């Protein structure tokens, strides 16, 4: 009997990946392709388009000839910005969330009374990551370039236009631009004008389940298959990771740490943080995702490894080295406390110029103590965000963890002790953002009636790391000191 297949195309800041599953979520194809023409804050959009086409073509040629259909859901990193001409050609490099070019104009924007009310409407904090800030900076520094641009878009819109012929943006990514009204589900004109652009320079917002057919001229492999192929616009990587982790109910949060990190909850009612410490983004028409992100995940450990320990910064080797440090040192790092804001910080301070702290340093401390203190500091940051999240969604009992840090059991144990809650990881190793994109593809095509039904399919079993009561008492005291250091 012909099988329907579903794919998740996830466009990240270091690579693009594609995962294809059957109707039961058994993985039948997965591949990724890293970027060579850009790094970190600035990427090459045509290269990302080329990689995406390559991965989709490879999947098309590997699926059984008797397949009934392939539906591809799309995920992309938030906060990117690209200027394009009226033919869709890139006029600029792609600015990612990590681009801090707009930092110099932040003081002026923060003093603007009109800008001050935008957060309650858009849910996006005022920070250099925001496309609103990026555009306001371009208006000041490169007005002619901004005027010449036919479209001001993110990376997924650029791909979507070239693959379908339409300038469209899902409401999930739109809600992370600082230009979008959460309540109206459309562009917020005062924010658009304040950013210095015209409404016609933006794409048309559409639901996460919006479907288009791909253009065959960019995908020659379409001529070699007999089954229909559809594209579902999907959402942002963060919101789709929430869905892929199965976190739709109250009382649970999804926590991920890779290069950076985030912790999020899901709720059905729109909510924006009066204290402006948390973001609110849209998942789909029913759910919004509330949370906080940190700049300082694996990249902080990598910085230490390369700049201080003078060792190779390969992510796998870095994690192994820090895992050994956790195993060799007692909880509390011998009284050493770290606020690891070495790359500035997003939530809860939203300050790209924030700096890191090591406090309580004595001559008895060795390198392993500094390494443990950094890991504990990252965990303390998530505990602080957890406190703020409980203002939005009530008591949180369980943490679903994902990302590269889950390869370290010592880190997972430390996280459980510091958060004072069980931390769970799933046995299934599929990327959560790609899995969330697959969920949207299934819902859009009628394979699933609801997103809630997707959770039953993803129940692959979990491992739980429980907090140690004795250790968590030590961490409670140290967390109070951490809170005084960071004043947040």
Q: What's the confidence (pLDDT) of residue 287?
A: 96
Report d(CA 146, CA 101) in Å as an integer: 15
More confident residue, 258 or 183: 183
Helix (H, G, I), strand (E, B) or coil at 267: strand
Do both 275 and 320 map to the same domain?
A: yes
Asked if residue 416 has pLDDT above 80, the reply is yes
pTM: 0.94
Give the DSSP H or E segment for 168. strand 168-170
Domain that holds residue 474: 245-426+458-488
Quick one: tokens of 393?
């969604």
Do both 191 and 278 map to the same domain?
A: no
Q: What's the confidence (pLDDT) of residue 458?
A: 73
> Strand 288-294 and strand 279-282: pairing?
antiparallel
CATH code of the domain containing 331: 3.30.420.40
Report d(CA 428, CA 432) in Å as an integer: 10
Domain C-terminal end among 236, 258, 293: 236
Angle between helices 409-419 and 469-486 (to 10 degrees): 80
Domain C-terminal end among 175, 201, 236: 236
Do both 183 and 251 map to the same domain?
A: no
Report d(CA 275, CA 113) in Å as an integer: 16
Q: What's the confidence (pLDDT) of residue 461?
A: 64
> Strand 462-465 and strand 423-426: pairing?
antiparallel
Do both 64 and 105 map to the same domain?
A: yes
Domain C-terminal end among 199, 215, 236: 236
In a domain, 157, yes or no: yes
In a domain, 474, yes or no: yes
In a domain, 442, yes or no: no
Q: Which of 233, 236, 249 is nearest to 443 (CA)?
A: 233
Report d(CA 34, CA 375) in Å as an integer: 27
Q: What's the confidence (pLDDT) of residue 484?
A: 97
Report d(CA 452, CA 249) in Å as an integer: 9
Do both 112 and 161 map to the same domain?
A: yes
Are residues 119 and 180 in contact, defined by beta-carbon separation less than 8 angstroms? no
Do both 190 and 320 map to the same domain?
A: no
Do both 350 and 411 map to the same domain?
A: yes
> How much is the average pLDDT of 30-49?
94
In a domain, 219, yes or no: yes
Residue 361: CB atoms within 10 A of its CB come to 15
Do both 257 and 224 map to the same domain?
A: no
In a domain, 450, yes or no: no
Asked if residue 183 has pLDDT above 80, the reply is yes
Report d(CA 352, CA 355) in Å as an integer: 9
Number of domains in the chain: 2
Do both 187 and 48 map to the same domain?
A: yes
CB-facing half-sphere around the CA of 326: CA atoms within 13 A: 20
Helix (H, G, I), strand (E, B) or coil at 266: strand
């Amino acid at each position: 009997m012909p099988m329907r297949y579903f794919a998740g195309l996830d466009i990240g800041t270091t690579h693009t990946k594609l995962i294809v599953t059957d109707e039961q979520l058994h993985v039948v194809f997965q591949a990724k392709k890293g970027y060579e023409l850009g790094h970190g804050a600035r990427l090459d959009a045509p290269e990302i388009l080329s990689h995406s086409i390559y991965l989709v073509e490879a999947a098309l040629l590997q699926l059984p000839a008797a397949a009934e259909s392939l539906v591809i859901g799309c995920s992309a990193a938030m906060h990117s910005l690209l200027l394009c001409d009226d033919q869709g050609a890139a006029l600029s490099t792609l600015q990612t969330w990590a681009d801090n070019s707009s930092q110099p104009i932040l003081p002026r924007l923060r003093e603007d009374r009109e800008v001050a009310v935008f957060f309650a409407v858009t849910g996006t904090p005022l920070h250099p990551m925001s496309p609103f800030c990026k555009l306001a900076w371009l208006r000041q520094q490169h007005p002619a370039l901004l005027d010449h641009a036919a479209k001001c878009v993110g990376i997924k819109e650029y791909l979507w236009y070239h693959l379908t012929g339409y300038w469209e943006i899902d409401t999930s990514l739109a809600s992370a631009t600082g230009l979008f009204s959460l309540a109206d589900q459309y562009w917020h004109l005062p924010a658009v004008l304040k950013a210095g652009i015209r409404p016609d320079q933006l794409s048309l917002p559409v639901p996460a389940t919006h479907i288009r057919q791909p253009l065959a001229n960019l995908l020659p492999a379409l001529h070699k298959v007999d089954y229909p192929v559809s594209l579902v616009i999907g959402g942002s990587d963060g919101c789709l990771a929430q869905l892929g982790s199965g976190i739709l109910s109250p009382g649970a949060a999804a926590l991920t740490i890779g290069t950076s990190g985030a912790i999020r909850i899901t709720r059905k009612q729109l909510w924006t943080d009066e204290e402006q410490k948390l973001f609110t983004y849209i998942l789909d028409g029913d759910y919004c995702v509330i949370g906080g992100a940190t700049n300082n995940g694996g990249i902080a450990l990598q910085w230490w490894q390369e700049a201080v320990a003078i060792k190779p910064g390969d992510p796998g080797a870095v994690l192994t080295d820090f895992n050994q440090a956790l195993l060799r040192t007692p909880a509390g790092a011998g009284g050493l406390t770290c606020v690891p804001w070495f790359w500035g910080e997003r939530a809860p301070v939203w300050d790209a110029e924030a700096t890191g702290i090591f406090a309580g340093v004595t001559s008895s401390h060795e390198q392993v103590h500094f390494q443990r203190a950094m890991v504990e500091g990252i965990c303390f940051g998530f505990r602080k965000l957890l406190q703020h999240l409980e203002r939005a969604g009530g008591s949180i009992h369980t943490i679903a963890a994902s990302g590269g840090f889950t390869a370290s059991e010592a880190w997972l144990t430390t996280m459980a002790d510091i958060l004072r809650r069980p931390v769970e990881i799933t046995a299934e190793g599929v990327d959560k953002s790609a899995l969330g994109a697959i969920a949207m593809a299934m819902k859009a095509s009628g394979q699933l009636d609801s997103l809630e039904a997707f959770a039953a399919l993803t129940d692959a079993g979990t491992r739980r790391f429980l907090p140690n009561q004795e250790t968590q008492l030590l961490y409670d005291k140290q967390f109070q000191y951490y809170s005084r250091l960071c004043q947040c």
